[in-house]
Amino acid sequence: MTYRNPTPTVDIIIELIDRPARPIVLIERKNPPFGWAIPGGFVDYGETVETAAIREAKEETGLEVELIEQFYVYSDPNRDPRQHTLSVVFLATAIGEPQAADDAKHLELFEPWRIPQNLCFDHDRILKDYWRYRNYRIRPQLLK
């Protein structure tokens, strides 16, 4: 019997805690789909989601992150145009100067009032949920 399952991914919302307003790091993708994205990527076989999150953050931003909490799992089958994925989203903190690397063409720091419009995947929804949680401590609602 062959199983067809969603592919696990991680996304890491990284707050730079050594800056005013604790901006987050977003990357501009080098590969399709193009646009701005939360740093993240695929979980390797034999790897925990926590290890994948720390690895992906380092590969794409050069930052050593501290994972604060697992935020939410986003699993809409249409969230990634390439294939059905599910993303375990982590909140993390870091200090230092991020550098774009791996499949990040460019990166920038963004405050809540300055988020780009051309976000990839379902990252607009994820960031909306994140800002609501950061400001009001209201978690995303489970979808039925």
- Which residues are CB-contacts of 122 (< 8 A; sequence separation ≥ 6)? 74, 76, 79
Query: Is the pLDDT confidence value at 144 over 80?
Result: no
Predicted confidence (pLDDT) per residue in 87-139, tens digit = 999 999 999 999 999 888 999 999 988 999 999 999 999 999 999 999 999 99
* 98 preceded by a cis bond (ω within 30 of 0): no
Element (DSSP H or E) covering residue 130? helix 123-136
Q: pTM of the full predicted structure? A: 0.95
Looking at the chain, the whole-number percentage of residues with pLDDT higher than 70 is 99
Structural domains of the chain ordered from first start: 11-136 (3.90.79.10)
Element spanning 61, H or E? helix 49-61
